[in-house]
Every structure is written in C-alpha cells, then in structure tokens.
Chains A and B, each alone.
Chain A
C-alpha cells in the first residue's frame, strides 16, 4: 500500500502541476460522444485535442470550457462531427473559454446552432465548416459559426451553408475579422450585429437571401455597433428566397440584398464585387421597428460607399411597387439604395460615379407607403476612413500556422 500511495502522490501532483502541452487524440467510432467530450473536459490550457479523420455520430452537444485549447481535425472534409441524430443541447459545440483555436473540422446538421462561442475572447475559427446538408430549410439551425459577447474573434477560411438565420454571425463582440470564408445558401451570409471594430474581407457570399448584414438592434446587453469595414468580398447571386422563421430580424431581409447596413455607426463598403443581387447590391437603412430602449440609436450614421464593382442587379427587387420602380429607373434599380433617414448631416456618403436611389423618408419606422423614391444625391467622402482598431488582434494570426 505504501508504494501505491507514493505512486498516487506522484500522480496527483502530476495532475495538479502545469505541464508542457499535450495532445489528446480522439478517433471516430463507438462512444465517440463520451470520448470526445471527456477529452474536451480533461484538456489543460495549451493542450491540443486532435480529431482523427472520419465521421463522428453525436447524440448531444459538445462543450469546451478550458482556456487556450486547440481543437484540430484532419480537414474540413475529413473530420466530420455529425449531429444528424442530436437529441439535446442548443448547439453542436459550445465554447466558453478564452484563447481557443478551432480548426480543420466540420459539423453537419446540428439541431440548433453550429459552433457557439460565448464570452470566449481571442478565439480563432480556421477552416471550420458547418453544413446543413438538405440546403435551405426553415428547420435548420439558426447560426453556423456564432461568436457572441467576445473580444478578439478571427474567422478564417471557414464555410457555412444552410443556416436559417446567419451563416457566420458575430454578435455583441469587438475586434473582429471574418475573412477568406464562404457563406452560401443561408438566410444571411455574414452578419455583424451589435458589434464594433469588425473587418469583413475576402469572403465569397452567394446564394444567400442577403449577403453581408451589418446591424444594431435594441434591447440587448451590448449595443452601439459600428466601425465596420466590408471590403474585397465577392457578393454574388444572393437570390435564395427568405427561409428564416418569422419573428427573427433576418426574416425581414429582402431576397436579393447584397450588403445591408442598418442602424450602425461608421461603416465602409469598398472594393467589393457585386453581381446578380436582384433587390439591391447595397442597402442602407434605419431600424424600422418601434422600440423603447433609450440607449439605442436607430439611424445609419457615417456610412461610406467607396469604389466597388457593380454588375447586374436591382432588376427583380422584392419591394412594394417594384414594377413602377423598375419602369422609373429604366429596368433596373441603381446599385445603392438608401431610405433617406439621416441623423443630422451624418447619413451616407458615396464616391462619385456610383448611382443610387433613395426612398426620401424622414423618420425611422416611417410608413413605406409615404416614400417618395428618387435619385440619390449625397456628398462624396471627404476624409479617409479611419481604420485604426478595426479587425482582430494581430496575435491571433500566429495560430493559423
């Protein structure tokens, strides 16, 4: 017993003491749920949980609550966490710890959201795929990649399709980069909501109802969204009929919207390629619903539309009076649509040479029937857009190697 006890003491000490990073390997097969979840629980800061190639049949949501852990698969087409048979939890994977890296694996058919990271600062999603395999369907989960209430978010090389709300959704967060990713056949491709300092660049957003949405909503713990840059994205053929369950804000997004800016402060839309977005390539509007939250500003403020490449679009708008509008504008609406609602002089500026139209509304929430559509005449940007502080912290890059 003495020798055993000595061994025990050593073992307990070893468990308690921080050691060099370790690898916890998990392979698919029987009891994958328990083995994978156990690895996520027993991992220590700095450790890697490595998921071998193959398909993991999972019955419940997974969760990670240890700081500094990397979860690494064998590739987004090789390691597949299959939640088709999920019986519980509101998401496939929940992360609640800081400095986590998720990379090179996929989730399929989670019953609720795909990966949710809440209060998880400095998180990296790298080459993560979330797919609802039946395509657009109101019964699919809401969000594919879902960081919320976090500071420092980098989503890179990821891919989401089929989300009944937003493919890549960043909410109530700061210091964000979403790039090099593909969002296809979701209601909203990429959504930046109630967040600040976000850079959305080099993504492909296609076949969604709306491509890229930048929103601020009332009655949330974190508000005051702004400092958002949307650049160098391919925003093409976002023409899927809206399949969001009514009640959600995105259910009101018109099929064929390229980039939508609503109730936000300092947003730059520049150097994107837009094509075949049948309602409007770019739409800038105030929040339209009644609200009582005194902290909330419903206006779009200081929105800058820089140079972009606009192809065909606005030719089949999902708008009341579409026929009359098309007739008035010669068969297709100009690429930039504004509701005309400005707070003082600080509404919208557009570089010369880009055509637009406005509803000429005066107040947030004003009845659309009172709109007086006409050509857009707004000033050109005077100052360079202030990029300082926008995007994920540079040190997150180091984890992409």
Chain B
C-alpha cells in the first residue's frame, strides 16, 4: 500500500497547496496545474476564476458558446477556454480547433436561475504534453469549492422542466467514453462549424487562433427554429449529441452507425440499417431509421426512453430531450423512401 499512502500524501499536499493559494491569490492561471502530470484536488488550484461561485473568469479565460449544444438534462452550461499567452490554436476547417499544449477547456454545469443557481460540477479538459486529460470536479453543497471526483457521483437536481432527477456526475473513465477517438481523449464541442464567426474572429484578432476557419458557423442555431432547414437542424443535433460515440474509432464504432455531420451515406446514418447489438433497445423495430416512419425507427425509440440499457445517449443525461426527439421525428417523418 505504499503508493496508497503516497496518494494520500499527495492529496494532503495538494490541500496545503490550495490553502496557500487562497492565502495569496496568484495573478494568473496556474499553468503548472494544467500541464503537470497530476490530478489537482480542487478547481481553485487552477485559478481559472476571479469569482468561481459566480463563474467570473480571470483574464485570458474566455467564455464561448455553441450553436447547437449537447443536451444535458437542461443544465445551463458555462464554457470557457484558456489558451496560454503566446500560444496559438490552429484552424482545422469546419472541424475541431487544434489547441496548443497548455490549453484548458472548462465547462460548468448548473441548474436554477439567478439567486437560485446551483453549480453542480465543472469538467476540465487539459491539454498536456502526452495528450488531453479529462477531470471532473464536483461542487459542494455550500458552493464554496469544487473538488476532484474521479469516481463521479449522483446528486438530486430539479430540471428546467420541473422534474426532480438523480443527476449523474460522470467518472473520469466516463469522460473518455464520450471524448475518446482511437484511444485518445479529444475535445468534442469547439468545432468551428458549431461556433460563432464573430467569436472566432475575436480569437484571431487577439492572436490566439491562426486564421478564420473555413466552414465556421455553418451549423444552425438550435434555439432559433428558422436558423436552417429541418434536415440540417436534425443532422446538427445528431452530430452534437450522438456522433462522439457513433463514429469510427469511438465508443459505439462497433454499431456501424456513423452520425457525424460530414457523413453522407444514408445507411451509415441508420436509414434501413439493421441493429447490431441493440438488444431490447430495438423496441421491437427492425431498422434504425425507417423513412417516413419515426414510430418504427429504433433511433427515435431509444431517444424517447429514459431507461438504462434502452436510452440513448447512454451517458450524460437522465431525461428525454423532448425538443431533440421532436426534430429527429420530423426529419424522419419527412424523409423520402
């Protein structure tokens, strides 16, 4: 158990470090915490926020938004990116921005509005020399501190729909279940196609991005019904909510279903595709998508379910995304045979 002791000692030492930090707040983001091969025990050690409770970021930590976001039981998600001073992200067409080593992507999940807002967890993706590392931090009841929770956990929350649910904070491995491609951890959200051109232009202007990515801002805005044709909205939804697993090299690769934005083959997208390992998830249906028949499509059946073993996505949500189901239903209903 020697190493067990060592970890305890490291934890104690991290605590001491955190206390020291709080006594004399550093001026900037703690780049060592991002880069070093360790798991800081508290979110405070990184120094991303001037006021973490209110999610006021320090200079250099930039908030961003996505045109079409991932559904997470209706949680408010506050996203930030930190790119080290003097470093530069590279445009990669409409795809993921290529962030330099030292980058941190920060995402806080919250429920409730105004005074009632309760922070649940902050997930970090840290770009280290050996690749990206995903770490979950869980906020305490007092909302004074977010501590590393490698094993994740559950907590009761009330969704915007008024439903009280047992909300799952993912464990460290589950981070990789969604963020893994070809056995490496990668970011999912910050793809140029799903980000505002204005925001990206700002990043270029400040020197943190090498140039304006081609195909930026090409995905529709989820919250604006008129922002794009039905098919694009449905495909954007599937890309953002499903394709991190349902693509080659990722967690659900063995299903043969590929829901990425760039996929054009109808069969790969599920049209008249038979299930492989759906089990009772098939709901008695024969195909993932039957054009014109959402009620006969396994995809819709699984999106409508909140039961583990049937529900899709498997991770990151406990409730049904009614708006998401509606758009995919309409897309399938209008699909020509």
Contact = CB atoms under 8 A, between A and B. Distances in A.
Interface of A: 1, 4-5, 7-8, 10-12, 14-16, 19, 22-24, 33-35, 37-38, 40-42, 44, 59-60, 63-65, 86-90, 94, 96, 110-113, 118-119, 138-143, 146, 148-149, 164-165, 169, 171-172, 217, 219-222, 245-249, 289, 292
A247 B274 contact: yes
B151 A34 contact: yes
Contacts of B152: 34, 37, 60
Contacts of A4: 13, 16
Given A34-B153, A37-B152, A112-B309, 12 more contacts: A1-B20, A8-B9, A8-B13, A41-B150, A63-B173, A88-B314, A89-B314, A89-B315, A113-B279, A142-B279, A142-B281, A289-B274
A41 B177 CA distance: 14
B173 A65 contact: yes
Given A87-B318, A247-B278, A220 B168 contact: no
A31 B5 CA distance: 21
Contacts of B9: 7-8, 10-11
B202 to A, nearest CB: 37
A217 B254 CA distance: 12
B168 A22 contact: no
B150 A14 contact: no
16 contacts: A8-B9, A8-B13, A12-B38, A34-B153, A35-B151, A87-B318, A88-B308, A94-B177, A113-B277, A140-B280, A164-B279, A165-B279, A219-B273, A245-B280, A247-B285, A289-B274
Nearest to A218: B274
A333 B177 CA distance: 48
B278 A42 contact: no
Interface string B151-164: 11110000000000
B253 A221 contact: yes
A37 B10 contact: no
A122 B117 CA distance: 48
A292 B267 contact: yes
Nearest to A43: B3
B62 interface: no
A65 B284 contact: no
Given A11-B6, A247-B283, A87 B173 contact: no
Contact of B282 (A15, A96, A220, A247): A247
A30 to B, nearest CB: 13
Contacts of B20: 1
A109 B134 CA distance: 30
Given A38-B150, A88-B318, A118 B254 contact: yes
A34 B154 CA distance: 10
A165 B286 contact: no
Contact of B280 (A138, A146, A249): A138
Contact of A219 (B37, B38, B153, B256): B256
Nearest to B277: A142
A220 B280 contact: no
Contact of A87 (B3, B166, B180): B166
Contacts of A1: 16, 20
B72 interface: no
Interface in B241-283: 248, 251, 253-254, 256, 267, 273-283
Contacts of B153: 34
Interface of B: 1-4, 6-7, 9-10, 13, 16-17, 20, 37-38, 150-154, 166, 168, 171-174, 176-177, 180, 183, 248, 251, 253-254, 256, 267, 273-287, 298, 307-309, 314-315, 318
A104 to B, nearest CB: 22
A90 B279 CA distance: 11
Contacts of A245: 278-284
Contacts of B173: 37, 40-41, 63-65, 94, 96
A8 B153 CA distance: 28
A162 B173 CA distance: 28
B254 to A, nearest CB: 5
Nearest to B317: A88
A112 to B, nearest CB: 4
A172 B151 CA distance: 30
B275 A11 contact: no
Contacts of A119: 183
Contacts of A64: 173
Contact of B154 (A65, A87, A289): A87
Contact of B256 (A7, A59, A111, A221): A221
Given A33-B151, A37-B152, A148 B254 contact: yes
A148 B253 CA distance: 10
Contact of A14 (B6, B172, B298, B308): B6
Given A12-B38, A219-B256, A22 B1 contact: yes
A143 B279 contact: yes
B249 to A, nearest CB: 9
Contacts of B251: 118
A95 to B, nearest CB: 10
B279 A246 contact: no
Contacts of B280: 138-142, 164, 245
A154 to B, nearest CB: 20
A249 B273 CA distance: 12
Nearest to A110: B309
A149 B252 CA distance: 11
A221 B13 contact: no
A24 B284 CA distance: 43
B277 A171 contact: yes
A21 to B, nearest CB: 10
Contacts of A90: 308-309, 314
B287 to A, nearest CB: 8
A11 B308 contact: no
Nearest to A39: B151
User: 10 tightest A-B contacts by CB?
Assistant: A142-B279, A247-B282, A8-B13, A112-B309, A11-B9, A14-B6, A111-B308, A37-B151, A63-B173, A111-B309
Select the residue from B6, B254, B309 with max chain A CB neighbours within 10 A.
B309
Contact of B176 (A33, A65, A169, A249): A65
Nearest to B7: A15
B165 to A, nearest CB: 10
A309 B248 CA distance: 44
Given A8-B10, A113-B279, A22 B309 contact: no
A248 B282 contact: yes
Contacts of A220: 254, 256, 276
Nearest to A243: B280
A64 B176 CA distance: 11
B309 A42 contact: no
A63 B171 contact: yes
